[in-house]
Structure 1
Amino acid sequence: MSAPELPAAGYVGADVPVELITAAGLRPLRLAGKPGEDSTLGDRYLGRGVDPVARSILTRILTGDYGPLEAVVVSRDCEASLRLFYALRELHRVEPGLRLPPVRLVDVLHLPHHTTTRYVHAKIAQLREWLGQWRRIGDDDLAAAITAHDTLRRSLGRAAALRRANRLSGTRFLEVVAATTAVPVEEAIALVEDVLAVDSAQVEGVRLFLTGSSHDTPGVYETLERNGFFIVGEDHDWGELLFARTCAAPTELALAERYQHNGPAAPRASIRQRAAHTAAAARACGAEILFSYARVHDDAPPWDFPEQRAATGLRAVLAERQPYGELTSEALAALIPAGAAV
């Protein structure tokens, strides 16, 4: 007889400390949007000038598309996420008939200061107390959750190495990472280990490093790899940026330091930090081309691009104002000559 499924707590953004959700006896479920699907409900409350990912997530929450959610935790990782939180909090207050779950904001800062550590630690302690209404989170519970999620991160690191060795496509890698954010951590570890155990076929293509907006669905990856590119690395938080850093110890303070120093993500980091990180990551995976994909209403990537291009020294292409989950034919046409020139 199988164990009953854990109740889910949805979360938005890689700044949410999922270890606390696990330690509270809940299943962390990272909320992704659905490109191409109607987002009228989300548009009504957020407006069409907000990142389409946030509008899609709000629509899916309101329609119950994620199934029953015990709670929603939103990180302040970008302006769109903050707008989403405010909309959910107000709807929860004024529209009780919608039966929305309680919502909580977690604000993680990424400055390299001791005062920032104290601030983030306090925010994580407050979230721990709030999640304690489902199950009190003892120190042993937290330590076990941190250890498990760090094990998952190390397994995903091995999957990234497999990709760099041409044994796993970029599309498949993105799908595996996304799958681990929708199941309990023990299942996620087993899922990755199963992928690592398969002797995959050699992957070919022009080695491309993807920067810019995040990708919560594989549509853009599929298009690129169908057209002769092999996505060997990326610096967004649905890819390697999600799991690159582990905790120094299984404690609440180490957890705060892990999230404080994780990144650098485009909306919260300086141009210089982004360029240095992108250059190092692109070198590590042997990239031949740098491609910056900037989704419509995501304004940060174009500001980063000139310095990223200079730091990597690679042939580089910027595609601005791209539709959510898609790559325009014009953007692909601009990229293909660069690939042919490698």
Structure 2
Amino acid sequence: MAEARRWRAAGRQVVGYVGADTPVELLTAAGMLPVRLGGAPDGDSREGDRYLGRGLDPAARSLLSRLLAGDYGHLDGLVVSRDCEASSRLFYALRELRRIEPSVGLPPVHLVDVLHLPHHTTTRYVQAMLRQLRGTLEAWAGHEITDDEVGAAIGAHDRLRTRLAELAEARRARPARLTGTRMLSVLAATQTLPVERATELVEKLLAEVPSLREVHGRRTFLTGSGHDTVDVYSALEAAGLLIVGEDHDWGELPQRHRVGAPTELALAERYQHNGPTAPRASIRDRAAHTATAARACAAEVLLSYVRVHDDAPPWDFPAQRATTGLPAALLERQPYGALTEDAMKTVAMLRDGQEVRA
């Protein structure tokens, strides 16, 4: 959060956001620093559990706990995308807490609802949602967001996505020189920095890749729950896997679509076609994407990691396994940011080429 502190010290606004369906271009256009919020697997989640209940995805409960504890410092606003049930419930809890417990000091919060159906009516709906968000951001910022500012922000974020696509291509190379852990940490960092600085960070790493030492492990495509920390990646790669691709919304997946034109309509279409994520896409679309992405990175195995209370990914797994044709394993009901002992035994079997029972 050092960048956020510098941003505030310069008299500029910092806005937190939840979910990859948040159109960060509008926040950048408003002169704000968009900071994607995540949980902390080792943190105290009791406050989040109190308001959200223990039957919800622990990542959302942890995130709420961090907000209530002031871990993110002063935020001038919060934007939550309705990308899954946990995000929706988080939004309503934040809105109600702000209403009934103003002493907590939560910032104003806005919900953006992006639908992903392939229809023109969906595009118009998403465009209307983006206009609502734009109006809210203008109220928070105290000034109008011009079309030129939106166009410039679109161009800046598209340049970042282009550099990230190049980094993803470098990650898929043989021999490998980028671990999945490092790639995920870079992706997370780009979602907390001003877009120009994030682009510079990626360009610097791209220049260094040829000189990095080779990394080894069984080439693995990771699907299932999202990962807002590197804990699980680190454990899997320490156990002998090498994560060369993933399709969750903290990885490469949300970066693959560019806007392509400096218009509000193009921006709406970009977020309409964002994904496909487990909570919002069909099983067939998920399986097709996973198979294509796994082939592109020459994956040798498929691994689905699913957190406790994350109900969508297990429905995708049978079709993903069949479509990829790879040796595969499903790790269900895993603790947030960690793996059970039984899961690690399964990982060892996958690493060693042993058959894993469905």
**Shared fold (TM-score, shorter chain, > 0.5):** yes
Shift of 1:153: 0.6
Instruction: Specify which of 94, 101, 123 is matched with residue 117 of structure 1.
Output: 123
Deviant stretches of 4+, over 2 Å: 2-7
- Are 2:98 and 1:79 aligned? no
**CA distance in structure 1 between the aligned counterparts of 2:201 and 2:56, rounded to whole angstroms:** 34
Deviations 1:4-33 (A, max 9, x none): 274210000000000001111110000010
Alignment of 1:23-38 (within 5 A): 23-38=29-44
**CA distance in structure 2 between the aligned counterparts of 1:307 and 1:181, rounded to whole angstroms:** 31
**CA distance in structure 2 between the aligned counterparts of 1:185 and 1:50, rounded to whole angstroms:** 32
SS in 1 for 2:275: coil
**CA distance in structure 1 between the aligned counterparts of 2:177 and 2:164, rounded to whole angstroms:** 14
Q: Which amino acid aligns with 2:41?
A: P
Question: Which position in structure 1 is the counterpart of 2:181?
Answer: 171
Q: TM-score normalised to the size of structure 1?
A: 0.98
**CA distance in structure 2 between the aligned counterparts of 1:328 and 1:99, rounded to whole angstroms:** 37
Structure 1 vs Structure 2 CA RMSD: 1.1
**CA distance in structure 1 between the aligned counterparts of 2:18 and 2:244, rounded to whole angstroms:** 25
Q: Mean Cα displacement is larger for which, 129-138 or 113-122?
A: 129-138
- Are 2:192 and 1:182 aligned? yes
Deviations 1:252-277 (A, max 9, x none): 00000000001000000011110000
SS in 2 for 1:100: coil
SS in 2 for 1:69: coil
Question: Which position in structure 2 is the counterpart of 1:153?
Answer: 161
Instruction: Specify which of 40, 45, 58 is matched with residue 39 of structure 1.
Output: 45
**CA distance in structure 2 between the aligned counterparts of 1:240 and 1:124, rounded to whole angstroms:** 23
**CA distance in structure 2 between the aligned counterparts of 1:326 and 1:91, rounded to whole angstroms:** 30
Q: Which amino acid aligns with 1:262?
A: N
Q: Which amino acid aligns with 2:54?
A: R
Q: Which amino acid aligns with 2:46?
A: T
8 A Cα contact 2:239 2:347, kept in partner: no
**CA distance in structure 2 between the aligned counterparts of 1:341 and 1:15, rounded to whole angstroms:** 37
**CA distance in structure 2 between the aligned counterparts of 1:296 and 1:337, rounded to whole angstroms:** 22
SS in 2 for 1:132: helix
Q: Which amino acid aligns with 2:309?
A: H
Shift of 1:119: 0.3
**CA distance in structure 1 between the aligned counterparts of 2:118 and 2:350, rounded to whole angstroms:** 37
Question: Number of residue pairs matched?
Answer: 341
Question: Which position in structure 2 is the counterpart of 1:137?
Answer: 145
Question: Which position in structure 2 is the counterpart of 1:210?
Answer: 222
Deviations 1:129-162 (A, max 9, x none): 1101203210000000000001111111111111
- Are 2:234 and 1:228 aligned? no
Shift of 1:309: 0.2
SS in 1 for 2:27: helix
**CA distance in structure 2 between the aligned counterparts of 1:47 and 1:226, rounded to whole angstroms:** 33
Question: Which position in structure 1 is the counterpart of 2:249?
Answer: 237
Question: Which position in structure 2 is the counterpart of 1:325?
Answer: 337
Shift of 1:189: 0.6
Deviations 1:218-267 (A, max 9, x none): 01100111111100000011111120000021110000000000100000
Q: Mean Cα displacement is larger for which, 160-169 or 3-12?
A: 3-12
Identical-pair percentage: 64
Q: TM-score normalised to the size of structure 2?
A: 0.93
**CA distance in structure 2 between the aligned counterparts of 1:19 and 1:212, rounded to whole angstroms:** 27
Q: Which amino acid aligns with 2:166?
A: R
**CA distance in structure 2 between the aligned counterparts of 1:247 and 1:223, rounded to whole angstroms:** 35
Q: Which amino acid aligns with 2:128?
A: A
